[in-house]
Amino acid sequence: MAISFQTDAELLSSEYAPRRQARLNYALSFALRLPHTAETSVWYAKIVTVRKELKRARKAGGDAGDADVWIIAGAAEHRIPLISHDRQMVVLARSSDQRAYTAIPTLRSGNPA
């Protein structure tokens, strides 16, 4: 399991109950942290272009946030699949030709084999 530098930063500001935070910290202790690199920024720019096209067409994925784009960019850079329960992120990733797994019922059929 790997997490983006963006996810790591978001988790620093999280306010979970102590028991939940302890479980999360334990799970993340096994995760590889993907750093921000120049290549991550290149991927970010590519994915932002796709997001703009989706937004212009008023399609799902066009409202994905900047944090979502950074996370997708890191997965793309390292050629690893994305796992998310965020609909906008999954649609944007798939629209950017990235592998994305989800448990969202209406998007599960698009999970890579």
Domain ranges of the chain: 2-110
CATH code for the structural domain at 2-110: 3.40.50.1010
pLDDT value of residue 13 = 84
pTM above 0.85, yes or no: yes
pLDDT value of residue 9 = 84
What contacts 47, CB < 8 A, 6 or more positions away?
Answer: 69, 72, 73, 76, 92, 96
Kindly report, residue by residue over 4-60, the tens digit of the pLDDT.
998 888 888 888 999 999 999 899 899 999 999 999 999 999 999 999 999 999 999
